[in-house]
Amino acid sequence: MSKTALITGATSGIGKATAELFAANGINLILCGRRQERLDNLQSALGSKTNVLTLNFDIRDRSAVSEAIGSLPDNTEIDILINNAGNAHGMDTIDQGSLDDWDAMLDINVKGLLYISKAIIPQMVERKNGHVINIGSTAGKEVYPKGNVYCASKHAVDAINQGMRLDLNAHGIRVGAVNPGLVETEFSDVRFKGDTDRAENVYKGFQALRAEDIADIIHFVVTRPYHVNIADLVVMCTAQASSTIVNKNL
């Protein structure tokens, strides 16, 4: 029987690439995002390969999360949860940071992840089966200048991932994190609020990771035998040694 995966932040970047790869391998999909047109396009593109449901909601809205998950057919069993939705806003020193930016990062990266997890994990506990993949970041492993609150949000994801694994161990649920470094997606466009030149400059002079690279790793993680749990994986492009050291000659 085909498994069903729910992917948050499915309309772009890593989420979209993961949805496409999962569909190619016959995994049923529940795709979540805020942009209905993109969800519709994904459903049209992938619907011939697998079963695709879409849910349009803002993961920051606790009621919207509950309503969206509650709207799924009664017999829906979610085998795989990909907590992918996340963002970065701004890159300022702590004294110059925007409170709105801080709220957005903590609401989406931390609270949104918790809301969707709370809505789905109880059914996994009841079945004593399931797999949760939390998409973290190298920013959750180290802090870099002007990364302050974004790094804090991803450190929180790292801690939540560890806490989930401990708490859900008794129920046979696999929990793991994939922590990418520099991936060329819409991430920097969002961070720099439409400053395209600044966003593009982040990836100039070296070959960054692609969303498809991370999707391939996520697919590998979820297709391991049940007794294998990849608990915490950090992946960077060859040019990247840390958040602040990138060889721009590669």
Dihedral sign from CA coordinates of 179, 180, 186, 190: positive
Please count the residues of the chain: 250
Closest CA to 10 of 85, 117, 71: 85
Residues 172, 168: Cα–Cα separation, whole Å:
7
Q: Which residue type occupies 248?
A: K
- Using DSSP bridges, classify how beta strands 4-7 and 80-83 pair: parallel, antiparallel or unpaired: parallel
Positions marked active-site: 150
Burial 158-196 (b: 16+ CB within 10 A, else e): bebbeebbeebeeeebbbbbbbbbbbbbebbbbbbeeee
Closest CA to 191 of 151, 161, 160, 155: 151
The answer to whether 240 and 246 are in contact (CB under 8 A) is yes
